[in-house]
Amino acid sequence: MTSEVVENEFEFYSKAEKYWKDVPATVDGMLGGYGHISSIDINSSRKFLQRFLRDGPNRTGTSRALDCGAGIGRITKWLLLPLFKTVDMVDVTENFLTKAKSYLGEESRRVRNYFCCGLQDFSPEPNSYDVIWIQWVIGHLTDNHLSDFLKRCRAGLRPNGIVVIKDNMAQEGVIMDDVDSSVCRDLDVVRKIIRRAGLHLLAEERQENFPDEIYHVYTFAMR
């Protein structure tokens, strides 16, 4: 539980905002010095996502996606824009969203909205998104805020839409990182929060071929 490791909620959020303001607006900055894993990450995410975009009665649409904790748009550029007609981006750091416009190049014209907002305060437009992608950012939300945000994401889905979380998983319990003011939860804690938000888990997958020294990374699809 984050309540056991987050002593001051206001400080937890403001310290994280301050941390990201000082991070370079580059792929390496977004990935904490692990920019070289970006293509491995994107390729695995594409395979995971495409199983829901294939033909069938419950096929997820490809009209509009939302990139949460989007940074400069690494996931928007390489994963979402190639698969969806339009994408919205949300991130707490204004400088990253400004940089995204040049980083995305010509394709930036298909990004409809750049929302500068923390996810604890963000509400996706109801019934609007085929896919809501949430990667390497849930650690910046308390348990209650994450559960509430996922409920709002559920309301933001179009028919057959999915919410995807891709993030680091701790071996056991909840671990605080004082450097970037984030938490890392274990699988059971994350699954409980997903259930608490009223979402049903459709698929779960561990990321392969990442460096041994980093946390295990898991991807979840739910609706």
**Would you give the end-to-end CA distance of the chain in angstroms?**
23
Asked if residue 179 belongs to a known ligand binding site, the reply is: no
Tokens read off for 51: 């199983």
**Is 119 assigned to a binding site?**
yes
Q: What is the helix (H) or strand (E) element at residue 67, kind and residue range?
A: strand 64-68
Q: 């450097």: which residue's tokens?
A: 179
Instruction: Kindly write down the DSSP assignment for every residue of 174-207, as one continuous string.
Output: EEEETTTTEEEEBHHHHHHHHHHTT--EEEEEE-
The response to whether 93 counts as a known ligand-binding position is yes
Q: Please enumerate in sequence order all residues whose Cβ is within 8 A of that of 170, keeping only pairs 6 or more positions apart, or say none.
A: 184, 185, 186, 215
Tell me whether residue 69 is annotated as binding: yes
Q: What are phi and psi of 205, to 5 degrees?
A: -150, 135
Has 120 been labeled as part of a binding site?
yes
* Angle between helices 187-196 and 143-156 in degrees, nearest 10: 50
Query: Is position 207 annotated in a ligand binding site?
Result: no
Which of 129, 110, 138, 27 is closest to 75 using CA atoms?
27
Which residues are known binding-site members?
Answer: 69, 74, 91-93, 119-120, 135
Which residues are known binding-site members for S-adenosyl-L-methionine?
Answer: 69, 74, 91-93, 119-120, 135
